[in-house]
Amino acid sequence: MCTCITYENGDFYFGRNLDLDVSFGEAVTITPRNFPLDFSRTGKMERHYAMIGMASANKTFPLYAEAVNEKGLAMAGLNFPGNAFYREPDGKGLELASFEIIAWILGKCASVEEVETFLADMKIINLSFAPQMPAAPLHWMLADRRKCLILEAVEEGLKVYENPFGVLTNNPPFPFHQMNMGNYLNLTSKSPENRFSGRLDLKPCSQGMGALGLPGDASSPSRFVRAAFLKWNSVSEPEEKADVSQFFHILDGVAMTRGAVVTEQGTYDITLYSSCINARTGVYYYKTYEDSRLRRINMHQADLEEKRLLTITG
């Protein structure tokens, strides 16, 4: 279970909570412009835009969970089991494996508008990175400061939705989340007015009652609504420290506490890490479940002409 959001307040920010019951070997990874990206069906990208994000650490290919490139285009993959459908490769169209799509899009495109020119021909295919790493069932949020899209590879094909909320969680598919948001249009961050009856003297008994009914459970639909409410009612000074702090406060509002969500296997989902990326500056901030100190990595302080992946640990 995961939650991804955008936030614009002077600068444009993109990030997420990564919620799992086990680490996937994650490390902040910079892909310099000259690291060769070798795709299974579309050949090798010898030179491309540089990018930074959290990836499963390996030296051969950046398996990004989320990332932003040097042009300010950002993308994240979120768990989508039961709905994700990957086609068998047949040599037709633009075929990308689920683990390749973030690196391909961020390596090649500078904006959502550029990505849109490829989507009609794009297919997500059923290929695994390694025998012990089966293809993860995912859907994706793609955004720059002008536009946000959701990509869902389902049995009918690759569905693309414009996302006015700048929020994504997990199942059900995005059209459900769009419809479900209409159930909460009465919520407000302000003190509520009495609309029950003009003949009754009803008053709120505490602060915050305008959002009575805001869901507080950890399910994907509830986290979608709660993240959207927190984001769209958020107030912070338009400067980096305040914006980054506010971004993490929003993510904290939908984070997983160990023990609150028990999986069918008897394990505990937790928020392994939370991230926030300034898409303009290429600065990646993150914290982990065990260490709430914010770490800061600036992509542009690295040698972006390198030919090897740069992994930052600790």
Catalytic amino acids?
2
Cα separation, 121 vs 201, in Å, equals: 61
Picking from 46, 53, 93, the residue whose alpha carbon sits closest to that of residue 70 is: 53
Q: Please give the DSSP secondary-structure letter assigned to residue 183.
A: G
Picking from 182, 175, 129, 128, the residue whose alpha carbon sits closest to that of residue 156 is: 175
CB 79 within 8 A of CB 137: yes
Angle between helices 101-108 and 112-119 (to 10 degrees): 120
CB 78 within 8 A of CB 150: no
Cα separation, 52 vs 67, in Å, equals: 5
CB 26 within 8 A of CB 65: yes
Q: Which residues face 44 on adjacent strands? A: 38
In order, the DSSP letters of 250-289 are: HHHTTPPPTTTSB-TTS-B-EEEEEEEEETTTTEEEEEES
